[in-house]
Structure 1
Amino acid sequence: MNFSSDAPKVFISYSHDSPEHKNQVLILANRLRTEGVDCNIDQYEESIIIGRMTSNSLTIKQLGLTI
């Protein structure tokens, strides 16, 4: 999905408590994206483990807001 350069950027960090919770987060992220928010969650990308951090953790520095 392409977003304008001035679109708000959000990364949602959440616990994987249950499949239902994981699905609710996906629904929220998809809704934010339809509203024009450049929203990212781990479910959108494959992660690789780098020490104790994942590749997703490294992208947090690039985003303007973490929920």
Structure 2
Amino acid sequence: MAYGRGDTIASKLGTVRVAKFGLWTYHAPETEPADVDAKAVELLGRLTPDIEVWRQLASRFNMSLFCGWFMERA
């Protein structure tokens, strides 16, 4: 999922809002058993290792990395 500041975003429940900031999300497919370390390696391995690319992006955008593990009871 990706959107820019000012874009209209509809939720799964049907509510609509205007984005205050841009967002780009990237997900790894689920596996059994869950392995957070392997997921981080998989996701980051798909991105460029070129530090200059990251410097250019960081000079233009505020960047943050969030890694979450969402568990639910069966």
Q: Using structure 1 for the length normalisation, give the TM-score.
A: 0.28
Tell me which structure has the larger Cα radius of gyration. Answer: 2
Question: Which is richer in helix?
Answer: 1
